[in-house]
Homo-oligomer: A and B are copies of this chain.
Amino acid sequence: MRRVHVSALGIALMALASAPSMAEDKDVVAYRRHLRITLNEQSGALGMILSGSIPDSDPVAHLEAIALTASYATKAFKLQVPGGEARPEIWTQWADFSKRMDDFARKTAGLAKTVREKGPQGVNVLDALTCKACHDIYRDETKR
């Protein structure tokens, strides 16, 4: 996995000027997978901190990483490429899907700001991280 990254980044230095303007479908699905796994892992890390499994750790950076990842997920789905765990409803109900994704990015960014300023006490993380509500409609986990 690591070797792929280093290689891709190596190519990048030469390829930037000649980058094609259209992404291939398999690349779009692979890119979305990177975002999805990041959200999974960051949510997992955040959960461990908030549940006390990893005490004395800072939940803010995880919330910020989640907000960053969510902030460009809408754009990644805008390309209308089926595949991965994406259900067709993402595109047939685009207004709802994109609003939910943007809300998710906005709420997690707001939560990161609140926790940074006031600490995690009293903050309702579940208000922002209602994963299941969207996944039930837009994500098909059987395609994992």
User: A residues within 8 Å of B by Cβ?
Assistant: 1-2, 4-13, 15-24, 27-28, 30-31, 34-35, 37-38, 40-58, 61, 64-65, 68-69, 71-72, 75-76, 120-121, 124-126, 129, 131-132, 135, 141
CB-CB < 8 A to A75: which residues of B? 57
CA distance A28 to B117 in the complex (A): 26
Contact B52 A126 (CB under 8 A): no
Which of B28, B30, B46 is close to A9, meaning CB atoms less than 8 Å apart? B46
Minimum CB distance partner of A120 in chain B: B16
Contact B28 A54 (CB under 8 A): yes
The answer to whether A9 and B126 touch (CB under 8 A), given A4-B47, A22-B55, A42-B34, is yes
Question: Can you identify 18 A-B contacts, CB atoms within 8 angstroms?
Answer: A1-B44, A2-B40, A2-B141, A5-B44, A5-B131, A6-B129, A7-B47, A10-B126, A15-B52, A21-B55, A24-B53, A30-B48, A31-B53, A34-B45, A38-B42, A38-B45, A61-B72, A65-B69
